[in-house]
Homo-oligomer: A and B are copies of this chain.
């Protein structure tokens, strides 16, 4: 007994005619006849009663028809679903991203992805950088977008998207707000607004400054980048954020100025769990991310 035979039987059971059924399933009528014969031999008895003028089901045939209908439907649904999965006409991809990325570039990336694959669902986990790593490692998500801290650079499954140079965020009207660049020492003459720990951005800033022997005095801190931006634009002080967030900060009404001495920089990239191969939708999302940054890089050069 095989699926072809069962489908042949179902077609005959529905039409009660070998001739019609054979057209329905696109085989010749003798081929159908043979398929039914073999099916009957396989199960050990008659399923159909053929008189020269009419075809009907035996009691056992009726049983098989009832059971078979569900099975064939499920089979076809499964087959179609598998094809859809590979054609990206169905499916889901789960992505974790650190807040500074989730709030800045990610919506654009998702819009691009969604435009290209309109029926693939995207599950975003907006979590701190450390948890992004953890979620990828544990398999809760397939992709994670985060900064790769310079120290732990040899985790495999990290693909660099771009190098990010941190920039200062300064209120409009502040003495430094129209400068081409500012130095840390100039910046720290104003009150400093930082992200609350634990935060990768906060950590990178602190580490760079402490390496350079500069002391950071944090006047205000907040969990949300948007709050930091708003505080700056209201003149409460200055801050430093990844270049990722330039647009966001400007929209919040603050000025953005590059910093030097020392620069704070970090690699932005995609994490994947190397022991699992990416699903088709995850690979597609990965490609969209890569393309997004390669296009951006080209436009900048």
Q: When A60-B279, A71-B75, A74-B71 are in contact, do A83 and B44 touch as well, CB less than 8 Å? A: yes
- Complex Cα–Cα for A252 and B198 (A): 96
A277 at the A/B interface (Cβ < 8 Å)? yes
Q: Does A207 touch B at the CB level, under 8 Å?
A: no
Q: Quick check: is A3 within 8 A (CB to CB) of the other chain?
A: yes
Give every chain B residue within 8 A of A149 (Cβ-Cβ). none
Determine whether the beta carbon of B59 is less than 8 Å from that of A279. Answer: yes
Q: How many angstroms from the CA of A282 to the CA of B58 in the assembled complex?
A: 12
Closest Cβ neighbor of A85 among chain B residues: B60
Whether a CB of chain B sits under 8 angstroms from the CB of A68 is: yes
Complex Cα–Cα for A56 and B81 (A): 21
- Say which residue of B2, B59, B70 sits within 8 Å of A2 (CB atoms): B2
Q: Report chain B residues within 8 Å CB of A277.
A: 46, 49, 56, 58-59
Are the C-beta atoms of A44 and B78 separated by less than 8 Å? no
Give Cα distance in the complex from A173 to B70, angstroms: 68
A4 contacts partner chain B, Cβ-Cβ < 8 Å: yes
Type the 1/0 row for A53-74, where 1 means its CB is closer than 8 Å to any CB of B.
0001011100110011011001
The one of B2, B59, B75, B87 that contacts A282, using a Cβ cutoff of 8 Å? B59
Which chain A residues numbered 70 to 118 have a C-beta less than 8 Å away from chain B? 70-71, 74-75, 78-79, 81-83, 85-87
Chain A, interface residues (CB within 8 Å), range: 35 or more
Contact B85 A45 (CB under 8 A): yes
- Which chain A residues in 248-301 approach chain B with CB under 8 Å? 276-280, 282
- A34 beta carbon closer than 8 Å to chain B: no
> CB distance A82 to B59 under 8 Å?
no
A212 at the interface (CB under 8 A from B): no
Is A155 positioned at the interface, with any CB of B under 8 Å from its CB? no
Picked from B71, B81, B279, the residue with its CB within 8 Å of the CB of A78 is B71
Judged by a CB distance under 8 angstroms, whether A43 is at the interface is yes
A81 to B78: give the CA distance in the assembly, Å.
23
- Report Cα–Cα, A3/B4, bound state, in Å: 9
Q: Does A1 contact B (CB under 8 A)?
A: yes
Could you list some 9 contacts between A and B, CB below 8 A?
Answer: A2-B4, A43-B79, A45-B85, A45-B86, A56-B277, A58-B277, A59-B279, A59-B282, A74-B74
Point out residues on A near B: beta carbons under 8 Å: 1-4, 43-46, 49, 56, 58-60, 63-64, 67-68, 70-71, 74-75, 78-79, 81-83, 85-87, 142, 276-280, 282
